[in-house]
Amino acid sequence: MDSVLEVLREYDRMPENVYFPSKEFVERVLNQYGYLTLFVFVCPATRGKYLTTNKKELFMPSQEPDNGLLFARIPKLKSLITSLWQLGIPSKILFVVADNSYELYRGPFEGIKLDLALMDERKKLYLANLTGKLVKEFRQLVEVFSLGLNKVGLSPDGTNIPDDVLAQEMAFQKNVVFSQYYDKKPPEDKVIENIVKGKCRAYAEQGLLIEAADALLIATEGSDTIASWLLRTKMLRLAGANFPSIYPYIRKEVTR
């Protein structure tokens, strides 16, 4: 088990990672399943410009572009898997498509209503396209799972959201999301707060999926600060989920 942990540490760029997998976790899952499950979120390259048209559902792409962020990250993921295989440790990759945010917690507070049946059709096209591409990239167990098509929702109303988590995510929404992803002026703070509370509840529910899968989260969501990467993990744990995580995609200059 020590050699497995050494490999995982080699790929982990989080300083003093409090979520690093324990020896007991790795030993238990390998004894129970015979492989290590790597949990990877996929954020579709949505197109915010369509939300102001009469074809709002085109917001959801029907395929993931080959030059998208996911495929830029595949080489390092392959390298990690190869390093584990060299120790005789097989792995399963569980790609989870985060394709339900607008219906769950953005649209309702922004006054934008989507045709859910049309959205599901586009999600099916996207899922089929992405699955076809990923099974060509990886030679071991691969599963691609859609949050939207499987109707994964929100944690219960009343989920405790710490003030620092709320403040950090509100700042991110105001300063980055609306300008870079939706190309519009942020709404009033109360709308943003409601969106953020919904997002936190959605992440909390997703965290329970990671725990249920007995998986190691390969964190893919963060920016140019350590705090931004930790924020996502904190949000995924808001409903009490307990799972390990490593952070291979933090840029080296962020940790200096």
List the one residue out of 40, 143, 139 whose CA is nearest residue 90.
139
Does 161 map to a domain?
Answer: no
**Cβ 171 vs Cβ 249: under 8 Å:** no
253: pLDDT strictly greater than 80: no
Domain that holds residue 143: 2-152+209-233+240-255
Task: Compute the distance between CA of residue 208 and CA of residue 237 in angstroms, rounded to an integer.
Answer: 8
In a domain, 133, yes or no: yes
pLDDT of residue 88: 95
Counting the structural domains of the chain, the total is 1
Give the closest residue to 40 by CA, choosing from 141, 136, 173.
Answer: 141
**91: in domain:** yes
- Average pLDDT of the chain is 93
pLDDT band for 144, please (50, 70, 90 cuts): very high
Angle at 131 between CA 130 and CA 134, to 5 degrees: 85
Distance, in Å, from the CA atom of 238 to the CA atom of 127, rounded to the nearest integer, reads: 28
Can you tell me the distance from the alpha carbon of 203 to that of 234, in angstroms, rounded to the nearest whole number? 9
For residues 49-76, give the mean pLDDT.
91
Instruction: Decide if 62 is inside a domain.
Output: yes
The pTM for the full model equals 0.94
The whole-number average pLDDT for the span 19-40 is 97
Residue type, 100: N
Is 159 part of any domain?
no
Let me know if residue 21 belongs to a domain: yes
Q: How confident is the model at residue 121 (pLDDT cuts 50, 70, 90)?
A: very high
193 domain residue, yes or no: no
Task: Provide the pLDDT confidence category of residue 191 given band limits of 50, 70 and 90.
Answer: very high
What confidence category does residue 256 fall into, taking pLDDT thresholds of 50, 70 and 90? low
In a domain, 191, yes or no: no
Portion of the chain with pLDDT greater than 90, in percent: 79
